[in-house]
């Protein structure tokens, strides 16, 4: 009798040498592993031993090839070309016609196997790793020749300007020559937005037309692929492509594209549920095999190391894509007041692993960083839920969030979040979803006569738990965001702004949510929030008709004065050249914070003027309206274009008891802040958010800027 490690469980199981177990009748002829199904064995051989898979079944309609007869039959029943009984090729897109006109290129994926030693470079990773490029027609794997002379520039711009804000793709192994066509098109689409090459108006129009056509044809091709074979969503590159198309559709600025992107999100969520991809142990039983050196044959060390590295890339690519999808679902559509389609409790995947592992350029660097992070005790790891290498707190997004909402979360979850800004990013988005869910429930209940304050959303114990999470994760974020030369600085800065936005949600509930307003595009939702900022719709909705509306409603902002001032420094303190390339969701979050400050200034101005008209004197400096106005104006004067040059000299009108001097600041305050918001929009010109919101702000009546009610 001998013992071998079983897949998905590293406990030892007695098996007679050379005799298959009745429960696992398919043994591997190159290692001791055994499997319950033959397709699992074939997948194991392809991933671990790089044995090419023969494709025996080919669709006569779309020419897709399959290794399994059942998958082929299911595809044939759904293939629109096959159903039509004429067996003609699918209608060619402009991309495919152009490719056929130019002839074959050297960028075709190699189907030959290469020795392990030569497969360590990123250029040949895709050819060796079957999980990314099998079971698809050849046209899905060809680079697009459209806009070919700009392709290299677009890819370069993507990784230089967009990738640092969302490390969705594995950069060390991404190459233009081997990337699937649809993924390459998505990268090129987003990268083209960051182009700095001067061009004429005709060229600008031509590029815009190309982007619109490329996005439309690409998303149709992608969605038809999943309609024909839902299991293709398991391919990491398919999910990555899907996410990039959603991001482009949401932030491109056109209402029709936004609605299509929303439908794409619904379709991918349904596909993930259908194939069980949201549960790690079901979708990828061997997703943690790269952690254990025992799972790999003890032969050529370079071969074993490369196999572990590629196994890690496959599992982590899926993990990062799923967590990014959770973020998109919970945050991207919030400005329109859409409810998330997925719950974090559905996602049964561990938190993303350290960013340094994801950025390792080759297997040698990767294993060195792996040993630094996990130590050399990898042989003692188990796959049991309670004995994971990073502890139970990192086992899922829900467990991580629950752990943070305690007084002593422990060092395990802290080390996980410090090592991965993406993990912290998703935890903050999950906390924000939790607060919005509480808000939605609370404002459907009748008002409390003993406590008519419209800003108490949670119970005291619930508020304490959320504040614990904010405090615990805030310590990590503030420490990591202070280092501007860090490779992950942009992600940590995003987390810093997300943290302030979460605190705002606790004190100033989203007025679209309270009012039950749902818009049909991102820009429409942000425009509606801008108009609602001018009033106090939340207090009216919560108290009327049983309770008299409160005239102020700035109580919640008092607790945020320090955070809002720091947020202004984070928003306007960044280099103006870099700020244009920030991620679009950062722009949306920052704009929401600016609206909160603007609304607080308006309400404080109104209260001060009412006090002047009633008592003919300024309120005391300890009054909330004076505290809020002076604190926020002090931060505004530091970044206003009219006073920025004079930062060292403090404006004497601040905190002044002189009525005439203070009144002049009161008149100029909101106009100055309105100009500051417009400057914010002018600087964000890459995506459609900045120009669109600038047009909305210019259409506001003058009294919105001057502060008259």
**pLDDT (tens digit per residue) in 363-416:** 999 999 998 888 754 444 444 444 467 888 889 999 999 999 998 888 889 999
Same domain as 256, residue 363: yes
Is residue 88 scored above 70 in pLDDT?
no
Is residue 622 scored above 70 in pLDDT?
yes
In a domain, 709, yes or no: no
pLDDT tier, 540 (very low <50, low <70, confident <90, very high otherwise): very low
pLDDT tier, 542 (very low <50, low <70, confident <90, very high otherwise): very low
Is residue 666 scored above 80 in pLDDT?
yes
pLDDT tens for 423-435 read 999 999 999 999 9
Residue 293 vs residue 565, higher pLDDT? 565
Is residue 552 scored above 80 in pLDDT?
no
In a domain, 98, yes or no: no
What is the reported pTM? 0.77
In a domain, 353, yes or no: yes
Q: What's the confidence (pLDDT) of residue 154? A: 92
Helix (H) or strand (E) holding 358: helix 355-358
Is residue 85 scored above 60 in pLDDT?
no
Lowest mean pLDDT among 236-240, 475-479, 535-539: 535-539
In a domain, 123, yes or no: no
Q: Give, as one character, the DSSP assignment of residue 116.
A: G
Q: Give, as one character, the DSSP assignment of residue 277.
A: T
Domain boundary among 544, 562, 597: 544
Same domain as 206, residue 237: yes
Q: Give, as one character, the DSSP assignment of residue 348.
A: B
Domain boundary among 376, 405, 428: 376
Q: Among residues of the chain, what percentage have pLDDT more than 70?
A: 71
Same domain as 198, residue 346: yes
Is residue 144 scored above 50 in pLDDT?
no
pLDDT tens for 265-296 read 999 999 999 999 999 888 888 777 788 765 55
Same domain as 508, residue 439: yes
In a domain, 273, yes or no: yes
Of 436, 539, 538, 421, the residue nearest 480 (C-alpha) = 421
Same domain as 287, residue 222: yes
Domain boundary among 497, 529, 544: 544
Same domain as 476, residue 355: no
Of 544, 564, 545, the residue nearest 554 (C-alpha) = 564
Domains contained in the chain, number: 3
Same domain as 400, residue 333: no
Is residue 509 scored above 90 in pLDDT?
no
Strand locations in 192-306 (E): none
Q: What's the confidence (pLDDT) of residue 445? A: 77
Same domain as 346, residue 452: no
pLDDT tier, 34 (very low <50, low <70, confident <90, very high otherwise): confident
Same domain as 198, residue 308: yes
> What six digits make up the tokens of 588?
């949306």
pLDDT tens for 325-355 read 999 998 888 899 999 999 999 999 999 999 9
pLDDT tier, 204 (very low <50, low <70, confident <90, very high otherwise): confident
Same domain as 371, residue 268: yes
Same domain as 483, residue 353: no
CA distances from 457 to 340, 538, 673 (A): 20, 12, 29
Same domain as 185, residue 328: yes
Is the CB of residue 186 less than 8 Å from the CB of residue 216? no
According to DSSP, the residues that pair with 348 across neighbouring strands are 279
> What six digits make up the tokens of 336?
């329109």
In a domain, 523, yes or no: yes
**Tokens 């050379």, residue located:** 18
In a domain, 351, yes or no: yes
Q: 179: domain range? A: 160-376
Lowest mean pLDDT among 113-117, 139-143, 528-532, 586-590: 113-117
In a domain, 50, yes or no: no
């Amino acid at each position: 009798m001998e013992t071998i490690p079983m897949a998905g469980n590293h406990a030892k199981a007695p098996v007679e040498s050379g005799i298959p177990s009745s429960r696992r009748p398919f043994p591997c002829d190159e290692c001791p592993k055994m499997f319950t199904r033959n397709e699992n064995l074939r997948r194991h051989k392809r991933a671990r031993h790089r044995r090419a898979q023969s494709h025996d079944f080919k669709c006569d309609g779309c020419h897709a090839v399959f290794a399994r007869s059942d998958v082929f039959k299911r595809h044939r029943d759904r293939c629109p070309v096959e159903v039509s009984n004429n067996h003609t090729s699918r209608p060619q897109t402009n991309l495919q016609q152009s490719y056929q006109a130019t002839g074959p290129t050297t960028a075709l994926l190699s189907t030959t196997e290469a020795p392990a030693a030569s497969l360590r470079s990123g250029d040949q990773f895709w050819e060796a790793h079957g999980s990314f490029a099998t079971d698809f027609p050849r046209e899905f794997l060809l680079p697009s020749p459209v806009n070919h002379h700009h392709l290299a520039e677009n890819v370069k711009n993507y990784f230089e300007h967009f990738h640092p804000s969302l490390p969705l793709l594995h950069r060390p192994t991404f190459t233009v020559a081997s990337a699937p066509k649809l993924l390459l098109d998505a990268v090129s689409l987003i990268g083209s937005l960051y182009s700095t090459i001067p061009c004429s108006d005709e060229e600008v129009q031509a590029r815009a037309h190309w982007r619109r056509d490329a996005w439309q044809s690409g998303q149709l091709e992608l969605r038809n692929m999943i309609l024909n074979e839902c299991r293709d969503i398991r391919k990491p590159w398919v999910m990555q492509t899907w996410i990039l198309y959603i991001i482009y559709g949401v932030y491109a600025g056109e209402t029709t594209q936004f609605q299509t992107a929303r439908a794409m999100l619904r379709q991918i969520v349904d596909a993930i549920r259908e194939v069980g991809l949201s549960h790690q142990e079901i979708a990828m039983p061997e997703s943690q095999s790269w952690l254990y050196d025992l799972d790999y044959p003890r032969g050529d060390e370079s071969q074993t190391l490369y196999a572990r590295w590629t196994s890690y890339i496959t599992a982590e690519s899926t993990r990062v894509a799923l967590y990014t999808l959770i973020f998109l679902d919970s945050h991207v559509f919030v400005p329109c007041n859409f409810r998330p389609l997925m719950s974090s409790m559905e996602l049964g995947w561990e938190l993303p692993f350290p960013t340094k592992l994801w950025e390792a350029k080759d297997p040698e660097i990767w294993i060195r960083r792996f040993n630094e992070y996990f130590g050399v005790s990898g042989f003692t790891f188990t796959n049991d839920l309670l004995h994971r290498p990073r502890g139970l707190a990192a086992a899922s997004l829900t467990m991580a969030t629950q752990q943070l909402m305690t007084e002593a979360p422990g060092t395990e979850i802290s080390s996980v979040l410090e090592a991965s800004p993406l993990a912290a990013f998703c935890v903050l988005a999950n906390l924000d979803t939790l607060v919005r869910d509480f808000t939605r429930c609370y404002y459907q209940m009748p008002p409390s006569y003993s406590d008519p304050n419209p800003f108490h959303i949670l119970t005291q114990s619930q508020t304490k738990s959320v504040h614990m999470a904010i405090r615990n994760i805030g310590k990590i974020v503030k420490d990591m965001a202070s280092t501007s030369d860090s490779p992950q600085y942009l992600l940590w800065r995003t987390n810093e702004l997300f943290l302030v936005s979460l605190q705002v949600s606790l004190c100033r509930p989203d007025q679209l949510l309270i009012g039950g307003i749902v818009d049909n595009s991102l820009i429409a939702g942000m425009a509606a929030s801008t108009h609602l900022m001018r009033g106090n719709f939340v207090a009216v909705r919560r108290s009327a008709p049983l309770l008299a509306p409160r005239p102020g409603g700035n109580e919640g902002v008092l607790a945020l004065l320090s955070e809002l001032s720091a947020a202004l420094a984070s928003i306007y303190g960044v280099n103006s050249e870099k700020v244009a390339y920030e991620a679009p969701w950062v722009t949306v979050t920052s704009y929401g914070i600016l609206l909160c400050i603007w609304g607080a200034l308006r309400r404080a101005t109104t209260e001060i003027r009412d006090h002047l008209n009633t008592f003919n004197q300024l309120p005391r400096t300890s009054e909330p309206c004076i505290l809020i106005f002076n604190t926020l104006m002090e931060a505004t004067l530091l970044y206003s274009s009219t006073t920025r040059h004079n930062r060292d000299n403090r404006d004497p009108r601040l905190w002044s008891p002189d009525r005439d001097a203070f009144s002049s600041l009161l008149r100029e305050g909101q106009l100055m802040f309105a100009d500051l918001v417009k400057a914010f929009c002018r600087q964000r010109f890459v995506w459609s958010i900045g120009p669109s919101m600038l047009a909305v702000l210019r259409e506001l009546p003058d009294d919105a800027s001057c502060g008259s009610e």
